[in-house]
Amino acid sequence: MSRKPKKGYFVRGQFVAEGSEMDIQLKAELKGTPDASRTDLKRESDELQDLGKELLNLRADLVESVGLPDKLVDALAEAKRITNFEGKRRQMQYVGKIMRKLDPDVVLAARQALEEQHKGSATEKLNLHLAEQWRDRLIADDDALPLWMAEHPDTDTQQVRALVRQARKDAQPAGKVANVQVSQGLAPRKGRAYRELFQLVREHLGGTGTDEAVDDDDADEDSNDA
């Protein structure tokens, strides 16, 4: 007795029986199942809402370059103002709702702006570290000044020397103050010259000279100077 031939079709030279696992998979890929569609939509929705959260920290000039709709800009501004956790969560859901209606070109521009800001932040950090290293070298070693001048000949040499001398002097407190610092394991206080030297170096390296975080000692001294 001959066996009844299976119903099916060939795909790229391979026979696919109707009702088989491969048949179901191929048909699902061709037509798209409701479950797959819901999964894709949920993933896309989550990605857009996450993008909205990142836009909260986007610089104002980059926000303008993206061309976000006023409705979204206002929603993001409101989200920044809200401090209540639940209120902020609901506002970010609203932001996500607006994000899902954006044109693909605007979404792409937003991603590119965030990438540009991220790259700029990384470069800025490297420049800050370089400025800190030069400041510390200038204070610690007299041989560092000729090297600095060779790379930045437009620097006011007398100004650098004066700041270095004062920074060294400020780092060597005398008498009871020094004894207290040593006994408490505290680092020497950093005076105004220490910060001004950093600012000078930073400016010559192409920065604003005001990017360095102020530590507790500096903050205390600023309040005393005021």
Predicted local confidence at residue 174, as pLDDT: 52
Q: Give the end of a domain, one of 102, 118, 149.
A: 102
Q: How confident is the model at residue 78 (pLDDT cuts 50, 70, 90)?
A: very high
Cβ 42 vs Cβ 36: under 8 Å = no
CA distances from 136 to 10, 29, 164, 221 (A): 74, 62, 10, 20
Same domain, 132 and 217: yes
Same domain, 137 and 97: no
CA distances from 61 to 6, 76, 127 (A): 66, 15, 21
What CATH number corresponds to the domain at position 65?
Answer: 1.10.60
Q: Is residue 56 part of a domain?
A: yes
Does the structure show a pLDDT above 50 at 218? no
Q: Is residue 17 part of a domain?
A: no
Q: Is residue 84 part of a domain?
A: yes
Q: Is residue 116 part of a domain?
A: no
Weakest mean pLDDT among 4-13, 15-24, 55-64: 4-13
What CATH number corresponds to the domain at position 159?
Answer: 1.10.60.30
What size, in residues, is the chain?
A: 226
Q: Is residue 139 part of a domain?
A: yes
Predicted local confidence at residue 99, as pLDDT: 87
Does the structure show a pLDDT above 80 at 85? yes
Tens-place pLDDT, residues 137-195: 999 999 999 999 999 899 998 999 999 999 988 887 654 444 555 455 555 567 888 99
Q: How far apart are the first and last CA of the chain?
A: 106
Does the structure show a pLDDT above 70 at 63? yes
d(CA 99, CA 113): 15
Tens-place pLDDT, residues 191-217: 888 999 999 998 888 764 444 444 444
Same domain, 88 and 152: no
d(CA 50, CA 44): 10
Mean pLDDT of 92-112: 87
- Residue 53 φ/ψ, nearest 5 degrees: -65, -40
Q: Is residue 16 part of a domain?
A: no
Pairing, β 8-11 against β 14-17: antiparallel
Domain of residue 55 covers: 34-102
Number of domains in the chain: 2
The half-sphere exposure of 81 on its side-chain side, counting CA atoms within 13 A, is: 6
Q: Give the end of a domain, one of 102, 117, 151.
A: 102
Same domain, 98 and 132: no
Does the structure show a pLDDT above 50 at 83? yes
Same domain, 136 and 211: yes
Predicted local confidence at residue 213, as pLDDT: 43
Q: Is residue 7 part of a domain?
A: no
Tens-place pLDDT, residues 19-62: 777 777 777 666 655 555 667 667 777 888 888 888 888 888 78
Same domain, 134 and 92: no
Predicted structure pTM score: 0.42
